[in-house]
Chain A
Amino acid sequence: MAAITVPGKAAHGLDPGEDGTPRRSRRGLAQKVRRNLSAYGFLLGALLCFGFFTWYPMVREVIMSFQKTKRGTTTWVGMENLQRIFNDPAFWQAWRNTLLYTGLALLLGFAVPFVVAVVLNELRHARAYLRVLVYLPVMMPPVASVLLFKYFYDPDFGLFNHILAFLHLPTSAWLNSTSTAMLSVVIASTWMNMGGATLVYLAALQTIPGELYEAAELDGAGLLRKIWHVTIPQTRLILSLLLLLQIVATMQVFVEPFLLTGGNGPQGSTTTVVYLVYQYAFNFNNYGSASALGLVMLLVLAGFSAVYVRLSRETD
């Protein structure tokens, strides 16, 4: 195999001296900077973009969490914004709803794509066609998908209640009941997003050596045992990664409940934390409290990610 070399750079990463031995010097560093000028140039653009549009807003959010603007004058208010959001009756309800959504989304949104991927992987015919079919909802604009489901969920004229009635099963109020509103949001959300996760799982499944399955079959393993003893251990890394990403993404849910139920839902049953942030910022014109709530969300997610990383290191 041919070695890949970077022009102008020695394999050991140090500049060769006049006598051919490596040496570190200020001059060497300057040369290194000059040599990598192109890379720094390209990096600068990205850094400026991240700086302006990601890092600066994050820093501003933290600052604004401790500020209040009244009559055009901004003052430092310490923990007042945090106290305000903790005293808001919607705060705990929004967290309960968000956790419920996350739990349901994991139950459905994590398991369903995995099962679909396993089934697709086992299929011998029409595999490509079915893959496109599974991925199709991801390509639809989220607003169109959500509005489609809104029609499906209509208690009087919706597709779902028509099917249930046709099968002589009890119909549901779907988005119009506190007990089913969040589940309805999760079902719509899973349908919209499962295509991407399915393809990732499918890619992971296809990296599993066929000999492992053959060996399992020789040992008398059936389909379920093969999944449990071969598929899941072999895709553990990708499963864990997607689990983390999914938790982070689902806890920031906004679009689906906003479009399906107007955000609140019956008796606030679909109010999520991000929707509450939106309400504070754009309906109540209270950027301080919106920032404080965003900061709490950031800390919760960061804490969760830290615990997750620690646990995965320990298991490794």
Chain B
Amino acid sequence: MNRNRLLRRAVTALAVAGLVLPVAACSSSGSGGGSGSGDTGASKSADAATPLDPKTKVTISIDCQPPTTKTAERKEWAEDIAEFNKIYPNVTINSKDASPCEEPPKFTAQLQGKTQTDVFYSYFTDLQQVLDAGGAADITAYVNEKTVPAFKDIDPSVLATLTDGGKLYGLPKSNYKMGLLYSRSLFKKAGLDPDKPPTTWDEIRADAKKIAALGGGVNGYGDYSATNQGGWHFTAELYGLGGTMVNEDGSKAAFNTAEGKQVLQNLYDMRWTDKSMSAAQGLKWPDLMTQMAAGKLGMYIGAPDDITYMVQTLKGDYQDYGMGPMPGGKAALLGGDDYMFKAGSTPDQIKAGIAWINFKYLTMGKGQFNYSRTKADGLPVGLPEPFFFTGDSLAKDNQLKAASATVPVANYAPYLSVQVPGKTEPANAQQIYKVMDNPVSAVLTDQHANVDKLLSDAETQVNQVLANLQ
């Protein structure tokens, strides 16, 4: 064998190794997803109901660590882990940062690849898809007054979103009820009282007209109508008027009613009769926040954390934004986020995860409820979320929040003073919302839109979609 041939073979071997190894590396990384289960195998807890033994050595991975761009929140996360480790010195938390905490397409792919973290972030509406993918562990036996002392005070409607067939699959992190977000500065400019936001659609129409009359590209009211968010907002507005999207068992559409018609008619009238809405439609999150932060939008339906986004990301001012109750006041769409526990986790991993969630998100004076620290770090205190607590925990929360408030709490008084009952999103929400984008976008883009026909067509289509899912 001559030297050339030897050289050629050596080069070939290196080339092949160079190509194969990354492939092998890639494939091996995709098969895991969980972490740290190895060091707990020997110490299986016999009794799920008992809290984690502080001596237990266990490693868990958790996502939704604040990103490096959110310096203060990230610092607090690290501080909380350090404090948690004083109680549980043998629990190792591997944090995974993400912003936003969940991107639905990526989340779906993670579930399919089973690459979610041991304790993973999700939205209230994700439970069914998580269960369909076999992605979450049943934690019913692990949660009680010893492991989560404030559990009894959590709003049952919030827990219902994390429960399926009587089994609990997650614990809440935060939640919201939708309401009317409005620009206090535009209200003042239009001669409206910023402390008395409209509570009915007739009042919204009247105020929107006045705000739009300011000119200079200012619109009175805005709404989403793309990427299934038109359907989402239609649902919120329908709930406010007392309507519902589907019947009791979720098998048929139930929105082709006087309330459903009123939702579309309101939008049509504001867009074409009053011209208090923009000609540029097809809006999706966060377009409305961008418009309001730029001082070009008077009102829209949203959640309290939109205010945080407008201030922290879009450099708005807390003084400029107010929040009122959901127009109609019959019910407010309820949403939020939570943590679930990866299926296949060891009992000790689940216990450690619950101990962390309890410390970070469910204990007054600790973690997210450590308002004095939040204030010292220059982060907002006083926004009306989370508010999943009732009873003693709620009273304590209000007391602590008031003591450290940094945002103009009075701006949210109209929202907090009216107790609108929360209503969760329908099952198969995204499929329904996709259909409902059509009538919402139609009334906002077609001056000759026929509301009755649009609702009737949407009803037929939703019934078709729901029948398809049975």
Q: A residues within 8 Å of B by Cβ?
A: 37-38, 41-42, 44-46, 48-49, 52, 69-73, 84, 87-90, 154-157, 173, 175-178, 261-268, 278-279, 281-285, 287
* CB-based contact A268/B437 at 8 Å: yes
Count residues of B near A (Cβ-Cβ below 8 Å): 54
- B443 CB to nearest A CB, Å: 10
With A45-B19, A155-B280 known to touch, is A264 a contact of B12 (CB < 8 Å)? Answer: no
* Given A45-B15, A52-B27, A155-B279, A266 and B133 contact (CB-CB distance below 8 Å): no
On whether the beta carbons of B129 and A72 are closer than 8 Å, the reply is: no
Q: Which residues of A contact B112 (CB under 8 A)?
A: 287
CB <8 Å contact, B446 and A72: no
**Residues 250-270 of B at the A interface (beta carbon under 8 Å):** none
B131 touches A156 (CB 8 A): no
Q: Closest chain B residue to A282 by CB distance?
A: B105
Contact A71 B132 (CB under 8 A): yes
The one of B108, B226, B279, B465 in contact with A262, judged by C-beta atoms closer than 8 angstroms, is: B226
Residues of A within 8 A of B111 (CB): 285
Closest Cβ–Cβ distance, residue B310 to chain A (whole Å):
21
A-B contact pairs, 6 of them (CB 8 A): A70-B132, A177-B446, A261-B282, A264-B437, A284-B431, A285-B111
> Which residues 105-141 of B have a CB within 8 angstroms of A?
105, 108-109, 111-112, 129, 131-135
Is B199 an interface residue, CB under 8 A from the partner?
no
Given contacts A38-B12, A88-B464, A283-B434, whether A156 and B441 have CB atoms under 8 Å apart is: no
Provide the residues of chain B in CB contact with A279, threshold 8 Å: 434
Q: Are A48 and B20 in contact (CB under 8 A)?
A: yes
A71–B134 touching, CB < 8 Å:
yes
B198 to chain A, nearest CB (A): 25
| Residues of chain A contacted by B26 (CB below 8 angstroms) | 52
Contact A261 B438 (CB under 8 A): no
The interface residues of chain A lying within 8 Å CB-to-CB of B446 are 177-178, 266-267
Beta-carbon contact of B434 and A282 below 8 Å:
no
- Rounded to whole Å, the gap between the CB of B210 and the closest CB of chain A is 19
CA distance A37 to B26 in the complex (A): 26
Complex interface: chain B residues within 8 A of A49 (CB) = 19, 23
Contact at B23–A52, with CB atoms within 8 Å? yes
Q: How far is the CB of A217 from chain B (nearest CB, A)?
A: 52
Q: What is the CB-to-nearest-CB distance from B174 to chain A, in angstroms, rounded to a whole number?
A: 23
Let me know if B133 and A69 touch, CB within 8 A. yes
**Contact at B282–A89, with CB atoms within 8 Å?**
no
Q: Are A72 and B135 in contact (CB-based, < 8 A)? A: yes
When the two chains form their complex, are residues A157 and B284 in contact, meaning their CB atoms are under 8 A apart? no
Does B42 lie at the interface of the complex (its beta carbon under 8 Å from any beta carbon of A)? Answer: no
Rounded to whole angstroms, the CA-CA distance of A174 and B431 in the bound complex is 27
Is A90 a contact partner of B282 (Cβ separation < 8 A)? no
